[in-house]
Amino acid sequence: MAPDSGRPAPGGVILEVDGLTMRFGGLTAVSHVSFTAARGEITAVIGPNGAGKTTLFNCITGFYRPSSGAIRLHRPGGPPAELHGLPGYRIARAGVARTFQNIRLFPGMTALENLLVAQHNKLMAATGFGIGAVLGLSRYPRAEREAIGLARHWLSATNLLDRADDPAGALPYGAQRRLEIARAMCTEPALLCLDEPAAGLNPRESEELARLLLDIRGQGTSLLLIEHDMGVVMTISDRVVVLDHGKLIADGAPAAIRADQKVIAAYLGEGEEDEDLEVEA
């Protein structure tokens, strides 16, 4: 099992990354990275530009096949699911949802329709994959009602209920980012992976986002978060994992990470003012 930071995790481990390495030709983007994310917590992955955060996410969510190492999704009362090398759709089915750095909604479909598309598998299963409809079985109407109910729940939670019938592409940028999170939540994931959800948001929108993520955690979903906005990271994360040049250099509670000399050196080395770790306590 991957080493933990020594802090007890009351809900146990949900995600275990063990010795993960990802090479692109001669470049090692992620090098022997091991950490765990606790169930019911928000775990942030931070690090300077090019540290390997998105590559790590792409390995966890099946967009890349890691060169070596293990990724396990732990499930209560059952054996862990080995995610290494599984295609993205099977990882999603195992209970891992993700959002992207760049928005990937269906812009011509309404906000509500985007959330129903996310529930396509469940709805197709309710039709018996077409056979049920031929035989006149009626599980579909109930499944559709439930899918709309779930979509409306997440539209409400993301403050988008009044925009349900607007095309997703017509929503302001911050609303589109919230809709992406709502869409991911409509797959009812055990683990939600967010790639820079605060990118491009103004301070008020970032605060709203932080509240939304805490609300999602409160509803029982564990979160793994890549984020450059240190205000958001340090306010909401239970645990912070730091990468630099593809290697894990620190793993601990936000306060410890803020004071960690290796972390400070990594960020100072980058020399980017917007990466400054100094945030209001």
Torsion, CA 105, CA 107, CA 108, CA 112, rounded to 10: 50
Any contact of residue 51 with ligand ATP (CB under 6 A)? yes
Using the minimum distance from each CB to ligand ATP, give the nearer residue, 52 or 95. Answer: 52
Please report whether residue 54 would count as binding ligand ATP according to CB under 6 A: yes
Query: Looking only at residues 156 through 185 of this chain, which bind ligand ATP when binding is defined by CB under 6 A?
Result: none
Q: Which DSSP state fits 95?
A: T
* In the complex, minimum distance from the CB of residue 50 to ligand ATP, in angstroms, rounded to a whole number: 4
Shortest gap between Cβ of 82 and ligand ATP (angstroms)? 22
Q: Using CB under 6 A, pick the residue from 39, 53, 72, 177 that binds ligand ATP.
A: 53
Is 50 or 231 the residue whose CB approaches ligand ATP more closely?
Answer: 50
The residue among 65 and 93 lying less far from ligand ATP, judged by its C-beta, is 65
Smallest distance from the beta carbon of 250 to ligand ATP, in angstroms? 15
Considering only 14, 35, 52, 180, the residue that binds ligand ATP (CB under 6 A) is 52
**Closest distance to ligand ATP from the beta carbon of 195 (Å):** 8
Stretch in the footprint of ligand ATP (CB under 6 A) among 21-29, 32-40, 74-82, 83-91 = 21-29
Instruction: Report the residue number, 29 or 212, with the smaller CB distance to ligand ATP.
Output: 29
Nearer Cβ to ligand ATP (27/135) = 27
Structure token pair of residue 247: 């290697």
Which is nearer to ligand ATP, 53 or 74 (by Cβ)?
Answer: 53
Nearer to ligand ATP, 41 or 195 (CB): 195
Can residue 49 be called a binding residue for ligand ATP (CB under 6 A)?
A: yes
Interface with ligand ATP, residue 24, by CB under 6 A? yes
- What is the H or E stretch that residue 156 is in? helix 139-157
Tokens of 10: 């009351």
Residues found near ligand ATP in the complex (CB under 6 A)? 24, 27, 29, 47, 49-55
